[in-house]
Amino acid sequence: MKKAYIPLLVIGTSLIAVGCDQKLPNTTAPAATSTAAPVVDKADAIASVNGKYIPKSTLANLEKEIAMRGQGQSIPKEKLIEELIQRELLVQDAEKKNLDKTPEVLANIDDAKKSILTQADVQEFMKNNAVTDAEVKAEYDTKVAGEKATEYKARHILVKTEAEAKKLLAELDKGAEFAKLADKNSLDGKESQNGGDLGWFVASQMVEPFSKAVMALEKGKYTAAPVQTQFGWHIILREDSRAQTPPPLEAVKEQLTPFLQRKKLQTMIESLRKDAKVEILVPLKDEPAKAQEMPAEIAPAMPEEAIPEEATTENAKAVEEKAAVVEEKAAAEKPAEKAKKEEKKH
């Protein structure tokens, strides 16, 4: 009994695109994109299709791509080899039909070549301009450790209206306890169970009106007037503040490194752009659509009182008759359209 091989062409086509941060596979380019196809020895091949060898490197690249994108998916080697044989058969069949010389295929090959060359250039640049530990440390000292951010500890009471907020402020002014008023009145379910406690936060974590109010308060003071945000009306109590402790270098190194890589790459591209002669040949903004002109045979509308009653009656009858014809035509066409849709489903 012959083994049934599952075609993997769908997998293969989905693996063509390779991200800039991944190794570029050494796949053999189509014949149309190179001046001379690399010579493959039999010892370095996994199979022969009509006398043409498929190199071992092609299988190795396919295995890497599946491992990289398949999230742990494992496919037997025999199925991968069969997949590469199927691809080679299709390539040879396409070449027999001269499909490799059609404008559409040549355009696609050119696009693929440009994409691969773009990735290759990026990877070559990254290899020769790797981010150093000293650069990471400098970025950390400037952007992380160097930032003297302040953390705030606060409570708040959130209500729907300004009138409600002012009523609660009056109670606070008379000596009411902030936490108890928050538990009883705050709209935020979580915070109404803990006295409106927001814990420690930096100003950027809150909406602007709220953060500005917190920063303007003195320690132990609450807002003299309600603060409005998109969530409602707040009464805010600033309990404490402290200088924010920056995370250690090792904790943010993995985030800083790719950021610096992109920064270097962007600088390189900007340099290329500056030295290049670039001419943009199309409008940068789409032109607004022109208003549809009125057909010449349609006369401007006349005042209603200027239209004879007989003409109005005749026009109304004509419209009704035309509408009836359209409805009959649509009803006749619907079964045909439905049949076409059913046919497409099958």
Q: E strands within the chain?
A: 45-49, 52-55, 150-159, 197-202, 227-229, 232-243
Which helix or strand (DSSP H or E) is residue 9 part of? helix 9-14
Return d(Cα 149, Cα 242) in angstroms, integer: 9
Q: Are 31 and 92 part of one and the same domain?
A: yes
> What are 140's two structure tokens?
């950390």
* Beta-bridge partners for 157: 235
When pLDDT is cut at 50, 70 and 90, the band that residue 37 belongs to is low
Greatest extent of the chain over all pairs of C-alpha atoms, in Å:
96
For residues 234 and 226, is the Cβ–Cβ distance under 8 A? yes
In a domain, 141, yes or no: no
Same domain, 101 and 22: yes
Q: Judge if 85 and 155 occupy the same domain.
A: no
Tokens read off for 134: 């000293």
Residue with tokens 């491992």: 67
Q: Reply yes or no on whether the pLDDT at 328 is more than 60.
A: no
pLDDT digit string (tens) for 268-289? Answer: 999 999 999 999 999 988 777 6
Determine the Cα angle at 116 with ends 113 and 120, to 5°. Answer: 135
Q: Are residues 13 and 97 in the same domain?
A: yes
Instruction: Show the domain range for 79.
Output: 9-105
Is 243:147 a contact under the CB 8 Å cutoff? no
- Whether 266 is in a domain gets the answer no
Give the whole-angstrom CA distance, residue 215 versus residue 151. Answer: 10
- Each residue's pLDDT tens digit, 207-243: 999 999 999 999 999 999 999 999 999 999 999 999 8
Q: Which residue has the higher pLDDT, 297 or 106?
A: 106
303 domain residue, yes or no: no
Binned at pLDDT 50, 70 and 90, residue 306 comes out as very low
Pick from 99, 202, 108, 188: which is nearest to 148 by CA? 202
171 and 93 co-located in one domain:
no
* Inside any domain, residue 3: no
How far is 211 from 112, CA to CA, in rounded Å? 50
What's the CATH code of the domain at 178? 3.10.50.40
Which of 185, 216, 243 is the endpoint of a domain?
243
Instruction: Please write the tens of the pLDDT for every residue from 183-214.
Output: 999 997 665 679 999 999 988 889 999 999 99
CA angle 278, 280, 286 (to 5 degrees): 155
Structural element, H or E, at residue 185: helix 178-185
Question: How many structural domains are present in the chain?
Answer: 2
What pLDDT score was predicted for residue 124? 97
CB 105 within 8 Å of CB 230? no
Q: Is residue 38 part of a domain?
A: yes
**Across residues 80-90, what is the average pLDDT?**
96
Please, are residues 54 and 45 in contact by the beta-carbon 8 Å criterion?
Answer: yes
Residue 155, classed as helix, strand or coil, is strand
Mean pLDDT of the chain: 79
167 & 82 share domain = no
State CA 310 to chain mean position distance: 62
Interior angle at CA 147, CA 143 and CA 152, nearest 5: 135
In this prediction the pTM is 0.51
Among 39, 73, 105, identify where a domain stops.
105
d(CA 90, CA 95): 9
| CA of residue 285 relative to chain centroid, distance | 22
Residue 108 pLDDT greater than 80, yes or no: yes
Q: Does one domain contain both 163 and 93?
A: no
Give Cβ neighbours of residue 89 (< 8 Å, ≥ 6 apart): 49
In three-state secondary structure terms, 344 is helix
On whether the CB atoms of residues 223 and 234 are closer than 8 A, the answer is yes
